[in-house]
Amino acid sequence: MFKMLVCIGAGSAVGGVLRFLVSRWIQSAVDVAFPWGTLVVNVAGCFIIGLVYGLCDRHFCISPEMKAFLTVGFCGGFTTFSTFANENYLLLVTSNIAVCIYAGLSFAVGLLFVHLGYAFARVF
């Protein structure tokens, strides 16, 4: 278990630093207010997590630690949106109606809690 946690932590560190660098580099290259850097990072993270899980489904053998490093760690540090998208995809391909509920609820409640965080911060 400790080895798994170290792998996830290392992946998170690499992903988080890379997210910062890539997002900042892209945003500085496109002189507009739209968050292109974040969008690119989120889409790239979705591709990476889909690729890793897809390869694993096709019996491409990697250790559980490497899979955790790449998915939970790297993609989680690079963008948590990739995990959200993967979970919605898995619900979608199993024709699970919960995908609509999960996606809508996550977005709406997430937005609400961002607003609440801002409101709470204004109190102090």
Tens of pLDDT, residues 23-82: 999 989 998 877 888 888 989 988 988 888 888 877 778 899 999 999 999 999 998 788
DSSP string, 64-100: HHHHHIIIIIIIHHH-THHHHHHHHHHHHHTT-THHH
Is 48 domain-assigned?
A: yes
Which amino acid type is present at position 90?
L
Q: Give the residue-averaged pLDDT of 6-34.
A: 92
Is 45 domain-assigned?
A: yes
Is 54 domain-assigned?
A: yes
* pTM to 2 decimal places: 0.75
Is 120 domain-assigned?
A: no
Kindly tell me if the per-residue pLDDT of 8 is higher than 90: yes
Q: Which domain holds residue 11?
A: 2-79
Contact 27, 88 (CB under 8 A): no
Is 55 domain-assigned?
A: yes
Is 98 domain-assigned?
A: no
Domain count within the chain = 1
| pLDDT-derived band at 83, boundaries 50, 70, 90 | confident
Kindly tell me if the per-residue pLDDT of 5 is higher than 90: yes
Provide the pLDDT for residue 114: 78
SS3 percent helix, strand, coil of the chain, rounded to 5, is 85, 0, 15
